[in-house]
Homo-oligomer: A and B are copies of this chain.
Amino acid sequence: MTKDQGQRTALMQQHILSTLQEIVGKDQVTTERADLICYSYDATQQKFLPEAVVFPANAEQISLIIKLANAEKVPVFPRGAGSGFTGGSLPTQGGIVLVTSRLDKILRIDSDNLVAEVQPGVVTEQFQQAVEKVGLFYPPDPASLKFSTLGGNVAECAGGPRCVKYGVTKDYILGLELVTPQGDIIRTGGETMKGVVGYDLTKLMCGSEGTLGVITKIIIKLLPLPEGRKTMLVLFDSIDGAAQAVSAIIGGKIIPATLEFMDATTIDCVRKATGLQLPEAAKAVLIIEVDGEREMLERQAKKILEIVEPLGVVETRVANTPAESEDIWKVRRLVSPSLRKVNPDKFNEDICVPRSKVPDMIRAVEAIAQKHAIPIVNFGHAGDGNIHVNVMIDKKVPGQQEKADQAIEEIFAAALKLGGTMSGEHGVGITKAPYIAMELDPAAVAYMKAIKKALDPNNILNPGKILLD
């Protein structure tokens, strides 16, 4: 167990700070209050002040920091861009925030073997642009990609719209270099497409939210860049129609690159906030994008429109140019900013259910919203059943937070009852940790805790996350 903040002096002991400075250089450690505040929060808007923030330059420095932390029993909280939705990088126990921003190099892109090697601090979109320049493709596309880092994406196993066809971050991670919770530098996996020597520590690290090691290098599998893409916006007169469309398209042997969904409340929000013309009869929207060989796209788009036609289509917009495609995606991107007009405080829960259960899930959410009389807005990745359920409240109104808490627990219960999970891509962090026993067997939690304890006996690395250790 680490000492909690109360037991330690409010400021980090001087000899620890001095050693940190020796390791990374004097100007790469800060204890300035303004700096500490900058690294005290993430996308959850929760705040925990660290005692020091360090900016190591390489794995060797990180190894020394972790060894120091073990010796001194000070917790270390690795952090990419801090764009997580569940508090995975928050310094909940003070200690040291270890920022990976200086490890920001794309080390190589190997077009022969469709492999790249990067440092963890590379921003996802910058990496995507770099590989696309040489005709390659890195599919995972979390909404945060303009600022989130690849290291954070691996730690959280980030998803995104394209996952319905292409899978999630972990499907693209071949190998890692990492610093273990006891400060050893190890390599896991490798750069081959296959490898079965020893336990798969690479995949174990994906989604372990920085609790089992600090990622210092990532070997990434790439794909050839699809020749083209074609985007369609289809408006349905009911949620059931849209949901049936999802199943029917995939049943028709087409797995589109994206199958994004918005419910009636989402459409209303977008309409009100932006003045965008969307017909009143539209109660659900699908944004469908196919990609691949150019000669195939028109045919696939036509087939999709035939499949969905009998399912209550109100209107269809097919993009014929990149600009028109951009117009369609604009509708999707307007969702998040629009929601704030409903209510100022948003709790975005990314439950995931088997895709055929999406209508049941939406109905369950509607009932929960009605019961507690708070707006809940649903949109997200219908193709893989990963719906973002946004509970919208105003914390300043007495009783609303309590209602939201109750609603969120009921939403998780509904997802689990339908064979789903409480998180498809955001992780557990601290916000979902209290609910983990709803989803996992006690023995499974014990199995996970045994792994954490074996690898991090001093509970130094990102303690207090996922398992409530």
A residues bordering B, Cβ < 8 Å?
Answer: 110-115, 135, 156-157, 159, 163-164, 167-168, 170-171, 180, 184-188, 190-201, 203-204, 206-208, 212, 223-225, 227, 247, 250-251, 253-255, 293, 295-296, 299, 352-356, 384-386, 419-428, 432, 436, 439-441, 443-448, 450-455, 466-467
Contact = CB atoms under 8 A, between A and B. Distances in A.
A437 to B, nearest CB: 11
B197 A428 contact: yes
A354 B113 CA distance: 6
A264 to B, nearest CB: 23
Contacts of A448: 198-199, 201
A436 to B, nearest CB: 7
B187 A444 contact: yes
Given A111-B251, A186-B443, A354-B110, A197 B454 contact: no
5 contacts: A112-B247, A197-B440, A199-B212, A225-B253, A451-B455
A247 B113 CA distance: 8
A440 B424 CA distance: 32
Nearest to A293: B296
Given A198-B436, A199-B448, 12 more contacts: A113-B385, A163-B194, A184-B447, A186-B444, A190-B421, A192-B354, A192-B421, A196-B426, A196-B428, A198-B439, A198-B448, A451-B451
Contacts of A355: 112-113, 193
B251 A112 contact: yes
A454 B155 CA distance: 23
Given A207-B200, A224-B253, A384 B194 contact: yes
Contact of A204 (B197, B203, B247, B432): B203
Most buried by B among A167, A170, A354: A354
| Identical copies in the complex | 2
A356 B110 CA distance: 10
B224 A156 contact: no
A445 B407 CA distance: 45
Given A193-B164, A354-B192, A198 B444 contact: yes
A353 B192 contact: yes
Contacts of A422: 197
Contacts of A443: 180, 184-186
A451 to B, nearest CB: 6
A441 B180 CA distance: 12
A104 to B, nearest CB: 24
Nearest to A444: B186
Nearest to A247: B112
A283 to B, nearest CB: 22
Nearest to A385: B192
Contact of A159 (B185, B194, B200): B194
B224 A255 contact: yes
A191 B416 CA distance: 11
B204 A200 contact: yes
A424 B203 contact: no
A425 to B, nearest CB: 6
A204 B201 CA distance: 7
Contact of A203 (B185, B188, B200, B428): B200
